[in-house]
Structure 1
Amino acid sequence: MKKFLPKDWINSAAWIDQENANIDEYVKRHGDSVDFDLHEKLTFWREKGYVAFEQVVPHDLIDALAGDIEYLRKHYRDFELYAELRGVIKPIGEFSEEELGLDGVKFNSIQTVSLAAARLSLVKEVSSFLGHVFQSPACALQSLTFYKGSQQSIHVDYPYVRCQTQLAKLAASWIPLEDIQPEAGPLVYYPGSHKTEISDFFDWGDGSILFESDSKRQPHELSVYLAERMKNAGIEPEVFCPKKGDVFIWHGNLSHEGSKILNEELTRRSYVTHFTSLDAYPPEHKHPSAKNGSGAVVENGGYCFDYPWLKQTNKLPSWTI
């Protein structure tokens, strides 16, 4: 098995993460292609590792995904999908109906069966902005749905989301499916922590920077490491309590976590997508029919490819609307 080292991250960094990145020159050439302040967003991304857009996500798409999720809970045996409950990931058909009704269930890569989810992944501002970050069209790698706050300890994404052919070509979007309350365990992030001079590279064993099945260290050790790095850098966490219609986009090396749920009655329904660039999308994840213009949802310059290993053709209700 190939071992991934710090150089694999550094050598695959997006242009904007490189020392000689010239945002002024880039915007002169590309700034007219968007209807937001590209210079402001790229500069903020370079310094802070995230950007947010307010009220750009269509509410009807959000409601359609919520409807798809409820349909999936009732008809889950009709779909070839994975779900996660309390850290256990397995085919959705192996869960009981009672388990899938619990608060902590996550549905993985629902964009493969929900048109609403695929279109939410490819919201115009997300696809457009990440297309400029990557200098290549944005492609959804995978997605997760959340019903309540994750309360997940501090972490970064790339040790776990790493099938892209260029390791550092990684980002994520977080879309609330409702207004998020401070007591619901909202998302917490650490501004500027995406810079490798702050985070450095956690050694999972023998110099590897990725979490493997045979890694000598475990995820909780990464959390301890990152917490210490944040403390040493003097970076204070910030809390994200968005409104329905907002979207938050973060760098693949931005430290973030799920805060403690203070009111168990509150939900934190949300939808997360992890992205890479078209030139780094793993070929084995691209359906052969994509060459003929099918086998993918293409919208706003971004792509959601069908996975070639999925055999079922059943789709959730948003495909027929």
Structure 2
Amino acid sequence: MAVIGKNEWMASRPWIDQDDPDFKRFLDKHSEACDFDLEQKLKDWKRDGIVIFENVVDPQLIDAFFGDIDYLRKHHLDFDLLAEFKAKQGHVRDFSAAELESDGVKFNSIHTISYAAAKLSLTRELMQFLSAVFDDAPCATQSLTFYKGSQQPIHIDYPYVRTQTKLAHLAASWIPLEDISPDSGPLAYYPGSHQVEVSDFFDWGDGSILLEADSVKDPGQFAEYLYARMREMKVEPRVFLPRKGDALIWHGNLAHEGTAIRNQALTRMSYVTHYTSLGAYPQAFLKPGAPEQGVICAENGGYIFEYSWQDQLQQLPSIALRR
């Protein structure tokens, strides 16, 4: 097992996660470009590991995204995309029409073929904020769609999402695609758990802080560790009940979970994007000539690139927004 330990995490932290971050320097550099109180948002991020933006996502863009999904379900044989249904993963062309119509299906990295999804990932306020956090251009590395609440136990992203070359250069956005009901299994997060003195580092085996194929610990044990750690540190979860048009960004080391679904008839439609900085974007993901070439969408200071293994991707109808 190649061991990646806590020293690698600590050495790769962005400026704001340092022990004595120079807020003035970054406020002077980024504040004028922002449509919000950057100083307050950065302080919220430093304290809680999350920031919330209300009514910043264009509802017409969400509607265009739904149009793409409907089209994808009806023409899935024409597209190159990974999906997941009941723990079964594969290409959309390998799923049945009934499976793809289910509200339990998840589409992975749909932002590479849906321009509407790409634009959601690069929402202006999210990019302005992450540009300040990373002091670099934010880049989407993957995206996930959810129709139902995940009910996923408590976890932290970076042991699983770790293709970035600077391990701690990781954040995620969570965009509700509808108003979220408290009975639908909403997202919950543990404010302040991103601080290493709160979460500490879980040992997957031999001091590794990442889940590997040969790790001696499993995600269930990771969840048990985090629940115990939150109790020990007296950190209580907060349930996120946003409205369509809101957005949340969380730190790559923030503990979060999907709560129990109390009404199985309800959906919890949402769209998640993981980001790293341009300087930490995995080179193996880039096509030759990037970032000048191989760009799907570049807006508001952020980037979405074609993956190096993709070629001549068929695009969903929202590509018309590009013209």
For the superposition of Structure 1 and Structure 2, which TM-score range results when normalised by the shorter chain? over 0.9
Pair 1:290 & 2:293 matched:
no
Query: Structure 1 residue 223 and structure 2 residue 223: aligned?
Result: yes
Match of 2:276 in 1: 276
SS of 1:290's equivalent in the other structure is coil
How many pairs align? 321
Does the CA-based 8 Å contact 1:289-1:295 persist in structure 2?
A: no
Query: CA offsets, 1:217-239, max 9 Å, x none?
Result: 11011100000000001011000
* Residues 84 and 94 of structure 1: CA distance in aligned 2, closer, same or farther (over 3 Å): same
Q: For residues 42 and 156 of structure 1, what CA distance do their matches in structure 2 show?
A: 20
Which residue pairs with 2:88 in the alignment? 88
Q: Superposition pairs for residues 132-151 of structure 1, below 5 Å?
A: 132-151=132-151
Residues 271-313 of structure 1, C-alpha deviation per residue, up to 9 Å, x if partnerless?
A: 0000000000001111225354443310000000011101342
Q: In 2, distance between residues paired with 1:294 and 1:92?
A: 23
Aligned to 2:266: 266
Report matched runs for 1:1-321 at 5 Å.
2-321=2-321
CA distance in 2, matches of 1:143, 1:270: 11
User: Greater CA deviation, 247-256 or 98-107?
Assistant: 98-107
Note if contact 2:26-2:132 (Cα within 8 Å) is conserved in structure 1: no
The 1:312/1:266 distance shift into structure 2, 3 A limit, reads: same
Tell whether the 8 Å contact from 2:295 to 2:303 is kept in structure 1 after alignment.
Answer: no
Tell me the secondary structure at the aligned position of residue 288 of structure 1. coil
Shift of 1:246: 0.2
Q: Secondary structure at the match of 2:207?
A: coil
SS in 1 for 2:290: helix
- Partners of 2:195 and 2:86 lie apart in 1 by 31
| CA distance in structure 2 between the aligned counterparts of 1:293 and 1:214, rounded to whole angstroms | 37
TM-score by length of 2: 0.97
Q: Which runs of 5+ in 2 are unaligned?
A: none
Larger deviation: 285-294 or 110-119?
Answer: 285-294
Q: Distance in 2 between matches of 1:101 and 1:21?
A: 48
For normalisation by structure 1, the TM-score amounts to 0.97
Deviations, residues 95-126 of structure 1 (Å, cap 9, x unaligned)? 22121122211100000000000000000001
CA distance in 1, matches of 2:313, 2:209: 37
Unaligned runs of 5+ in 1: none
CA distance in 2, matches of 1:104, 1:6: 36
CA contact (8 A) 1:79 1:312 kept: no
Distance 1:312 1:30 in 2: 36
From the superposition, tell whether residues 263 and 33 of structure 1 become closer, same or farther in structure 2 (CA, over 3 Å).
same
Amino acid at match of 1:142: Q
Residue identity in the other structure for 2:46: R
User: What is the root-mean-square deviation in Å for CA atoms of aligned residues?
Assistant: 1.2
Identify if the C-alpha distance between structure 1 residues 25 and 69 changes in structure 2 by more than 3 Å, giving closer, same or farther. same
Residue 112 of structure 2 aligns to which amino acid in structure 1? T
The AA in structure 1 aligned to 2:23 is I
Alpha-carbon shift at residue 172 of structure 1 (Å): 0.1
Q: Aligned partners of 1:88, 1:19: CA distance in 2, in Å?
A: 43
Q: Distance in 2 between matches of 1:292 and 1:217?
A: 41
